[in-house]
Amino acid sequence: MNLLPFVVTVAILAALSLAIVALLRLERPYLQPVAILRAVLQLAILTLILNGVISDGIWVALFLAVMVGAATWVVVRRLEMPFRMAWLIAVVITVASAVPVVVIFLSGTVQFSPRYVLAVGGIIIGNTMTVSTLMGRSLAASFDSGRDEIEGWLALGATPRLASQRVVRVAASTALIPGTDQARTTGLVTLPGAFVGAIFAGASPLVAAEFQVLVLASILVASALTVAFFARIFGAPAVVPTNGRLRERAARARELKATS
């Protein structure tokens, strides 16, 4: 791939995303091109690092720990959580990601080597981060929309966990939709990255498909564990939290609609 056409193409795509989001008058339209720029820089650094660590188990473990830390930071910021809870989110991401990875390598399905641990672990950690954010936001929205129902159950003497049970299940189901749809439509609507990457690396389509199925199954397990942990930790509030941020956004949307 030639460098100049690559740079020009990425710049055009970034400009298009900025223009579309700005025309829609969405919040912070600069986030999309900034995200692309960050991806370029981070992948460039990653390429340099991986040349030295991909075959060293200790460095791979450290690199995965850094990924967990970065994922934790993103979730804490996205959900506007107190920083003192970061350790709890890190534990959730670590355990939810580690369980399917351990199953894969203990079964012997994939050769246990640093490069494969990094590949599988990195994919699952990234998806666990996304599910954590979705679950947190869905949970906040569900508590807000189901406030009357929850308070009604509490008034009848139900425990906080029982009173919140239905809305927590709705939030968990919502958070699982992207991963479930990805698995359902793989090969029909999308060609997933693990499959394409394995093909480009010289693997046969059969081996690439097997690896992709393992990745998808692992993502679903990690996602289910993530929502289970979130439901357990945050799913029984004694006082229903107020989702002020959602209300602020709704009010802002109404103001924009009134002025347009």
- Residue 63 shares a structural domain with residue 47: no
Is residue 64 located within the same domain as residue 171? yes
Does 45 share its domain with 163?
no
pLDDT of residue 247: 47
Instruction: Determine the 3-state secondary structure of 161 from DSSP.
Output: helix
Identify the pLDDT of residue 88: 93
33 plus 75 within the same structural domain: no
pLDDT at 76: 93
How many Å apart are CA 65 and CA 88, to the nearest integer? 15
Q: Are residues 7 and 109 in the same domain?
A: no
Q: Using an 8 Å Cβ cutoff, are 212 and 109 in contact?
A: no
Query: Does residue 166 sit in the same domain as residue 235?
Result: yes
- The pTM of this model reads 0.74
> Two tokens at 4?
């100049």
Residues 167 and 247 in one domain: yes
**Could you tell me if 26 and 70 lie in one domain?**
no
Does one domain contain both 22 and 126?
no
Which of 18, 34, 53 is a domain's end point?
A: 53
Domain count, the chain: 2
- Please report the pLDDT score of residue 249 as a whole number: 46
Segments of the chain with pLDDT less than 50:
244-250, 253
Can you give the pLDDT at residue 163? 83
Please give the pLDDT value at position 99: 93
Residue 28 lies in domain: 1-53
One domain for residues 28 and 145? no
- Are 234 and 139 within one domain? yes
**Do 69 and 167 reside in the same domain of the chain?**
yes
Let me know how many helices (H) and strands (E) the chain has, helices first: 11, 0
Tens-place pLDDT, residues 149-159: 888 888 888 88
